[in-house]
Structure 1
């Protein structure tokens, strides 16, 4: 990669976050990591979100669209799900596989939501927050709060590994990724702290959210639930 191209990539990462650009590869790795239980994980998260028929939902960092499509099935024909992701390849893949008329996808990062105030009943953001630049996370949470109607719900989720093997595996994968991308700082950061969704309790409260609760959702997710 040329110096200019590398600088452009670094600037983009600083502005909108890490882009995952290979949908099929992402789905394969995620399925392997979850031991084929990805659908069960999605179903459990959707159940905990409280998504109900007729709800209007935005899924932030939707990736290839699996979670958004499953949520669309839950809210039914009278509801709607908008999947949003900053990766053009993810949005192209998700749109090509959008089989439900109440599910659509749009390009854009979490920190620049342009939807009207109070336009959604539910905001979901699963396995995404650590991809958003740290300097932009408060802005992302503020937008999530803004677009929710009063009484609307937020579900934030990320990996919450238990036992002895999975934490070691995540640390190993993180060191490999940091070395591969030349991220020297990343090689010294604790990846488990980076993905611990509980770190957003105080930022959520500062953004205006209430009734903030943490729980684990099998097989591998930690969840923060909050209400506007």
Structure 2
């Protein structure tokens, strides 16, 4: 999620540089996310779950799961015969999410997108929402490669990030995204974007996903401010 992530993190700078931006204050994050999405977090998660195509009995993983809202929505979708794992580099987020597990078919663990420990071809669905801009620019291709690796043939990856519509929202997001999208004063620095919206536009990963081996990559916009890529691994 975009925003001044610094107000939600107390992780050391060197740890952030290795893993990415760590958000360590779950309650503050939840409050801002709810306001940012105009109170539509539940309906957004329902739509994201629908777009994954997750079915009863599927195994899924949510990378950068934060406080676990999407994990719980996926767990409801896959049912008791399925399994959902939430992974986040922030111990504070994992502790918070674990304390609110509502069903036996989901669990949470500390980990980073670029160093997943899941076995090859072990899950049917991978989700990662409002996360890519938090991963160091140089490690994002590796992170997408890890997501491809853990998916079974025919599996689906869903990536989502901010995609504002209308006149007011883009201007607000430009201001809020300066930290999370990693703007710098050096226009030649990795991760710099003249327009910070370009840095969080999920569509920028379409060609990277195709290069990683995904057979199809489709974009969907969910009003008021979410863009979604769904990529399918060749069966």
Q: Same fold (TM over 0.5)?
A: yes
Structure with higher helix content: 1
Q: How far off its partner does 1:219 sit?
A: 3.1
Q: How far off its partner does 1:99 sit?
A: 1.4
1:194 aligns with 2:210: no
In structure 1, stretches of 5+ residues that fail to align are 1-7
3-state SS of 2:120 partner:
coil
Correspondence for 1:26:
29
Correspondence for 1:113:
116
Q: Quick one: distance in 2 between partners of 1:75 and 1:164?
A: 38
3-state SS of 2:198 partner:
helix
Q: Quick one: distance in 2 between partners of 1:189 and 1:25?
A: 29
TM-score by length of 1: 0.90
Q: Residues 210 and 188 (structure 1 numbering): CA distance in 2 closer, same or farther, change over 3 Å?
A: closer
1:149 aligns with 2:128: no
Q: Quick one: distance in 1 between partners of 2:212 and 2:130?
A: 20
Conserved in 1, the CA contact under 8 Å of 2:202 and 2:227?
A: yes
Conserved in 1, the CA contact under 8 Å of 2:183 and 2:193?
A: no
Conserved in 2, the CA contact under 8 Å of 1:174 and 1:187?
A: no
State which of 64, 88, 92 in structure 2 corresponds to 1:89.
Answer: 92
1:69 aligns with 2:90: no
The size of the alignment, in residue pairs, is 218
Q: Quick one: distance in 1 between partners of 2:116 and 2:201?
A: 24
State which of 127, 131, 139 in structure 2 corresponds to 1:128.
Answer: 131
Conserved in 2, the CA contact under 8 Å of 1:45 and 1:217?
A: no
Conserved in 1, the CA contact under 8 Å of 2:145 and 2:212?
A: yes
Conserved in 1, the CA contact under 8 Å of 2:183 and 2:196?
A: no
Conserved in 2, the CA contact under 8 Å of 1:41 and 1:218?
A: no
In structure 2, stretches of 5+ residues that fail to align are 1-10
Q: Equivalences for 1:24-63 in 2 at 5 Å?
A: 24-63=27-66
1:166-218 deviation digits (Å, cap 9, x = unpaired): 1111112234x58xx99656997522011100000011011111111111123
Q: Quick one: distance in 2 between partners of 1:188 and 1:126?
A: 21
Q: How far off its partner does 1:48 sit?
A: 0.8
Q: Quick one: distance in 2 between partners of 1:38 and 1:224?
A: 18
State which of 222, 227, 232 in structure 2 corresponds to 1:222.
Answer: 227
How large is the RMSD of aligned CA atoms in angstroms?
A: 2.0
Q: Residues 11 and 166 (structure 1 numbering): CA distance in 2 closer, same or farther, change over 3 Å?
A: same
TM-score by length of 2: 0.88
Correspondence for 1:140:
143
Q: Quick one: distance in 2 between partners of 1:210 and 1:73?
A: 28
